[in-house]
Structure 1
Amino acid sequence: MVFIPSKQLSDLSEAPLKIYLACPYTHPDPKVRKNRYEAVNIAAARLIVAGHIVYSPISHSHGITNTGLPMDWTFWKRIDQEFIRWADQVWILKLDGWKKSHGIAAEIELAFTEFKMVRFVSPEHYNVSSF
């Protein structure tokens, strides 16, 4: 998958949002993990082009886990918690499996304890497949 912006960075009438963009990742099939990674990258790119500041834990950690680090929430929790605290809002990209994801459930719980707005977004909204 490739995303090429079709327009310049938008002028926001308000300050840009700092968005923590979550999606399911862990899966026994490496192709599913790769597809989820690519889908969330496209969604993150579109949000960035719209003028927002985006942290996507999957975009950040996918390549790093290829060095042998664990993929599970237990390992990444400490890092992701700090970025959730940093963010204005937590957005969940509803790729297949998001309802079953232990990491997403924990991210939502932390967002609520930090009084962050949680927004659920459809993959179709960002023109990415629901893997």
Structure 2
Amino acid sequence: MRKIFLACPYSHADASVTLERFIQCNKVAASIIESGHGVFSQVSMSHPINLAFEGKDSATIGKLWAPVDALFMEMMEELIILDLPGWDLSSGIKREIEFFKNRGQKVSLWSEVSGEFN
């Protein structure tokens, strides 16, 4: 069983884009689980909780999640990035890529590996 940390761009000025990213991330996480692998989908977990952070901007919320993400990254063996538009601009994804690469662990884009999960 592969232990996968699923990264996805999240924050956006348009709330409908943020919601769509959440939905797409859940679909990919479901595909990974259906293939018999373990996945931690940070966006799937954080989106509902973020709705409860009243009066906080996305930068503040990101700082709150950084240590939580680190905890889960420690437990996972590879990183898969859901390469939706904007993924390459995400500071969170950049941090996650650096973490996994520094440990010599596999980093992939979903568009490149999605066939492995059918």
Equivalent-residue separation in structure 2 for 1:74 and 1:108 (angstroms) = 17
Aligned residue for 1:5?
A: none
CA positional deviation for 1:31: 0.5
How far the C-alpha of 1:21 sits from its partner, in A, is 0.4
> Following the alignment from structure 1 to structure 2, what is the Cα–Cα distance between the partners of residues 31 and 86?
31
2:82 pairs with 81, 87, 93, which one?
A: 93
1:116 aligns with 2:105: yes
Match for 2:4 among 19, 36, 48? 19
Report SS of the residue matched to 1:122. helix
> Does 1 or 2 have the higher relative contact order (CA < 8 Å, sep 6+)?
2
TM-score, reference length from structure 2: 0.86
- Which residue of structure 2 aligns with residue 12 of structure 1? none
**Which of 36, 43, 47 matches 2:28?**
43
1:84 alignment counterpart: 73
Is the Cα contact below 8 Å between 1:20 and 1:56 reproduced in 2?
Answer: yes
Distance 2:4 2:109 in 1: 12
Q: 1:74 aligns with which of 45, 63, 66?
A: 63
CA distance in structure 2 between the aligned counterparts of 1:40 and 1:108, rounded to whole angstroms: 17
- What is the rounded CA distance, in whole Å, between the counterparts of 2:18 and 2:51 in structure 1? 12
Residues 24-76 of structure 1 show CA distances to partners (whole Å, capped at 9, x for unaligned) of 00111110000000001000001100000110000000000010165443221
User: Aligned residues, how many?
Assistant: 110
More helix by share: 2
Q: Which moved more, 1:74-83 or 1:58-67?
A: 74-83
Amino acid at match of 1:62: H
Q: Distance in 1 between matches of 2:27 and 2:4?
A: 14
Residue 96 of structure 2 aligns with which residue? Answer: 107
Give aligned-pair identity as a percent.
35
